Amino acid sequence: MILHIDCNSFYASCEVSLRPELKGRPVVVANYNEAGGGIILALSKEAKALGLKRGNPVFQVRQLLEQHQVVVFPANLQKYVDISRRVMKVVIESGLVMDFQRYSVDEFFATLPEMTKADTIDYVAQIKELIEHGTGIPVSCGISLTYTLAKVATWYAKRYEGYHGICVLQQSDIEKALRGLPINDVWGVGYRTAPKLQRMGIKTAWDYAQKPQAFIQHSFHLPGVRTWKELRGEPAVDISSPPKQQTIMHSRTFTYMTSDADTLSAYIANYAVAAARKLRDQHSVCRSVTAFINTNRHREDLRQYSNAATVRLQNPTADTSAIVKAAQQAFYAIYQEGYQYKRAGIVLAEITGDEAVEQDLFADAAAGMRQRKLMEATDKINMRYGMDKVKLAAQVYEKEKHTPANQVRFEPFRNQTTDIDDVIVVK
DNA sequence: TCTGGGGTCCTAGGACCC
DNA sequence: TCTGGGGTCCTAGGACCC
C-alpha cells in the first residue's frame, strides 16, 4: 500500500510550532510586501473558520484580520524547508516505511508493509505520533493502492474528524470514496479541465473512472489516462523526482507600476543575481537565460503587454556577471516604452552540474578561473556580512519612497531554525 | 494604493534532414 | 484532380502541482 503524508496548514503550523502560545488562535502566513501585504498563503483552522481563504489579497481582508486579531506572519520559505527536512528525518529514522519520497515541501509518499486494515491504522498512527511529537507539525495520512488513491484517502482524513487524521481505502472502499469525491478535487484535474468535465456530465471521481479509456485518451491525453488508471487502482504515476532541478526562476511583482527601463533593468539584474546564487548553491551551471516582463493583469483599464526573450550563452556558467549581462540583453529585446509594468523575472534553464563544464575551444581558461574565484569571494562576503554587501553596479536603483497607510501589521521575521540569535531558549 | 512565487510535464507544430 | 514520405529535434505554450 502507498502512504501519503500531508502536513496540515503547513506554513501556519510551522509558525505555531515555534510560537506554541498561539495554538488555538487564528494565524495566517502571507507573502510580505512593503505596501502592506501580498496574498494569504496558509491559514490555521481557526483562521479558515473566520472565512479567510488561501489566495485572498491581504488588503481586501484587512478588516477581518484586525477585528479577530489574526496573527499575520511573513512567509519565510527557508524556515519551512528546514522544518520539512525535520519531518522527513523523523519518518526515515523511525525505519517504519520503505521508499520514502518527498513530493513537495509539505507532502510525502512511502510504501507500507502488507497488513490488515486495522493494523495499518495502528501502524500509521505511530508514524503520525512520531512526527507530531518530534516536530510539532500535525499531519493527515491517506493509505491506498496508488498515489492518486492515497491522496483521495488523505482528502477524507482531513475532511472528517472521525478518521482522526488517518484514512485507509482498500479495494472494497474505493467505489464509495470516489462517488463522494467531486471531480475538481482529484489530483491532476485543474481549473481548466474541471469545467470541461462538468459539461460532459462527469461530476465525481467515480464518473471519470467509469468512462472508457479511449474516450479519456482522446479528450485528456496522457496525463488524463494516468489519473484514470490510478483511480482504478492501477499504478501509473511516477513521482521519483528528477535528480536535478531543470530550471531556476526568480520573479517579483512590484509594489508600484513603472514604465522606466532603467528601473526595470536594475530589477532584472537583482533577480539574475539571486538566481545565479541559487545556481551556485546547488553546484550547477546554466546555458540559457530568459527574462520576462508583465503589465498589471488586474488593471483592465490599462493596455496590457507581456513578453519574454531568451539568450543562449556561449558557455554554461554560474558567473553572476555573465548571467546578469544575458538577462539584461534579453530584457532590452522585449522592453517596450509606454506600458506600466508590474512584474518581471528571469528563468535559468539548460542546467547541468558544474563538475565537467564543457569549455568553448576559444574560452579563456585563466579568465574563467579568475571569475570563479571572484564569485566564491563575493558569496563568502555576502554570506558573512549580509546579502548584497558586495554587488554589481547594474543592481543599483533608486528605491521609491512610499509609506502606505493602513498597513496590516506583520509579525517580525524570525529564523528560529537557522539564526543563532533567533533560536528559542528553553528555561 | 494594494492581487505570489516557484516548479514539472506534455503536445503541436515548425525547422530541418535524407 | 494529382505536388513524397519518413524521420528527429527544438520551442512555445498550455496544463498541472504546491
Q: pLDDT by residue (tens digit) across A157-172?
A: 999 999 999 999 999 9
What is the three-class DSSP state of A316? strand
Q: What is the dihedral sign for C-alpha A14, A18, A19, A23? A: positive
Q: What is the mean pLDDT of residues A270-294?
A: 90
Angstrom distance, A116 CA to C12 C1': 50
pLDDT of residue A363: 55
Q: Which of A33-37, A166-170, A231-235, A301-305 has the lowest mean pLDDT?
A: A33-37
pLDDT of residue A397: 66
Q: Which residues are within 8 A (CB) of A401 and not within 5 positions of it... i.e. 6 or more apart?
A: none
Q: Which residues touch strand B (CB under 7 A)?
A: A 31, 33, 35-39, 41, 55, 57, 59, 221-223, 242, 245-253, 255-257, 271, 278, 296, 298, 342-343, 345, 347, 402, 404-406
Concatenate the DSSP letters of all residues of A325-354 into one string: HHHHHHHHHH--TT--EEEEEEEEES-EES
Report which of A216, A294, A283 is spatially closest to residue A244, judged by C-alpha positions.
A283
Higher pLDDT, A12 or A313: A12
Angstrom distance, A370 CA to B3 C1': 44
Q: What is the mean pLDDT of residues A350-376?
A: 68
Contacts 24+ apart (CB under 8 A), A84-88: A84/A7, A84/A10, A86/A134, A86/A135, A87/A5, A87/A7, A87/A131, A87/A135, A87/A137, A87/A139
Most confident segment among A175-189, A251-265, A292-306, A383-397: A175-189
pLDDT band at A401 (very low <50, low <70, confident <90, very high): very low
Angstrom distance, A121 CA to B10 C1': 37
Contact between residue A6 and residue A154 where contact means Cβ atoms under 8 Å apart: yes
Angstrom distance, A272 CA to B14 C1': 31
Mean pLDDT of chain A: 89
Rounded Cα–Cα distance for residues A26 and A28 (Å): 7
Q: Which of A104-108, A126-130, A265-269, A395-399 has the lowest mean pLDDT?
A: A395-399
Higher pLDDT, A380 or A383: A380
Angstrom distance, A365 CA to C17 C1': 41
Q: Which residues are within 8 A (CB) of A164 and not within 5 positions of it... i.e. 6 or more apart?
A: A125
pLDDT band at A23 (very low <50, low <70, confident <90, very high): very high
- Nucleotide minimizing C1' to CA distance for residue A298: B3
pLDDT of residue A402: 47
Antiparallel, parallel or unpaired: β A166-168 and A2-7 = unpaired
Distances in Å between the Cα of A278 and the Cα atoms of A103, A115, A260 are 20, 44, 28
pLDDT of residue A392: 78
What is the three-class DSSP state of A412? coil
**Above 80 in pLDDT, residue A95?**
yes
Cell of A158: 482531513
How many angstroms from the chain centroid is the CA of residue A64? 26
Angstrom distance, A336 CA to B5 C1': 24
Q: What is the mean pLDDT of residues A268-275?
A: 92
- Nucleotide minimizing C1' to CA distance for residue A227: C16
Residue type at A414?
A: R
Bridge partner residues of A2 (DSSP): A111, A144
Report which of A42, A38, A40 is spatially closest to residue A13, judged by C-alpha positions.
A42
Model pTM score: 0.87
Q: What is the mean pLDDT of residues A34-51?
A: 88
- Nucleotide minimizing C1' to CA distance for residue A405: B1
Higher pLDDT, A362 or A245: A245
Contact between residue A184 and residue A276 where contact means Cβ atoms under 8 Å apart: no
Q: Which residues are within 8 A (CB) of A310 and not within 5 positions of it... i.e. 6 or more apart?
A: A288, A289, A290, A330, A349
Q: What is the mean pLDDT of residues A222-250?
A: 88
Return the nearest residue to C12, CA–C1': A308
* Grid cell 533577480 in the structure block, residue: A271
Return the nearest residue to B1, CA–C1': A404
Distances in Å between the Cα of A92 and the Cα atoms of A42, A87, A97, A293 are 26, 9, 7, 43
Q: What is the mean pLDDT of residues A222-227?
A: 93
| Cα angle A153-A158-A160, degrees, rounded to a multiple of 5 | 95
Nucleotides of B under 7 A from a protein CB: 1-12
pLDDT band at A328 (very low <50, low <70, confident <90, very high): very high
Q: Which of A13-17, A187-191, A387-391, A422-426 has the lowest mean pLDDT?
A: A387-391
- Nucleotide minimizing C1' to CA distance for residue A6: C18
